[in-house]
Homo-oligomer: A and B are copies of this chain.
Amino acid sequence: MTLPMIQIALDQTDLTSAIEVARRVESFVDVIEVGTILAFAEGMNAVQTLRHNHPEHILVCDMKTTDGGAILARMAFEAGADWITVSAAAHIATIGACKKVADEFNGEIQIEIYGNWTMDDAKSWVDLGITQAIYHRSRDAELAGVGWTPADLDKMRQLSDLGLELSITGGIVPEDLYLFEGIKAKTFIAGRALAGEKGRETAEALKGQIERFWG
């Protein structure tokens, strides 16, 4: 199994700032994400520009696609994305439409887990050939300073057991990575923690923990 990767989420509201952050972190991240905020702020020009600036990185467009799957997926892949996100709340036909376009571009779909999803939903994603999902820590828990709950970890293990590689996000810190041992982790996603002054240090600490628990 390949080791989990480090992903930066670019959620700036203007492309100029996002370009700067991406340049600053490119040497220590594997995956660059055009966040939903940046994509809505600047449109597909954000994806095109970051693709041009970072030809060797995996580039994700975080559209949280909920409908109009084929058109949105084509737009993002044509602009240069390698992966796009699709909402778990999308109709299965929408997810299928995205997958079909992704296959055409050798791209991948990541199911972004929000709302009242079920393990049966997850099985239907796997049946479509989807191999990735994104798991967020409960925003309430995060705001209340509560850590990853046993319920979170249990669901993540179940998704992992279904064969889904998980990208994990929501206040990711190096000290917490041991919690996810045994889970098929694709990436650990952070924004400000990687963009800030201590970004390189944080990335190195994350990589140390990844080596320890997945190496």
- Assuming A89-B89, A140-B93, is B39 touching A71 (CB within 8 A)? no
- Which B residues touch A144, using CB under 8 A? 93
Interface residues in A89-130 (C-beta closer than 8 Å to B):
89-91, 93-94, 96-97, 112, 114-118, 121
- Which B residues touch A143, using CB under 8 A? 93
For A145, the closest partner residue in chain B by CB is B93
Interface residues in A73-103 (C-beta closer than 8 Å to B):
75-76, 87-91, 93-94, 96-97
Q: Is the CB of A185 closer than 8 A to any CB of chain B?
A: no
For A142, the closest partner residue in chain B by CB is B93
B13 touches A66 (CB 8 A): no
- Assuming A39-B40, A91-B141, is B112 touching A66 (CB within 8 A)? yes
- Which B residues touch A115, using CB under 8 A? 87-90, 114-117
B40 touches A138 (CB 8 A): no
A37 touches B116 (CB 8 A): no
Query: Interface size of A by Cβ–Cβ distance < 8 Å?
Result: 47
Q: Is the CB of A193 closer than 8 A to any CB of chain B?
A: no
- Which B residues touch A165, using CB under 8 A? none
Q: Is the CB of A166 closer than 8 A to any CB of chain B?
A: no
A4 to chain B, nearest CB (A): 22
Q: Is the CB of A52 closer than 8 A to any CB of chain B?
A: no
Give the top 9 A-B pairs by smallest Cβ distance, nearest first. Answer: A89-B115, A89-B89, A43-B43, A93-B140, A116-B116, A91-B138, A115-B115, A94-B140, A89-B114
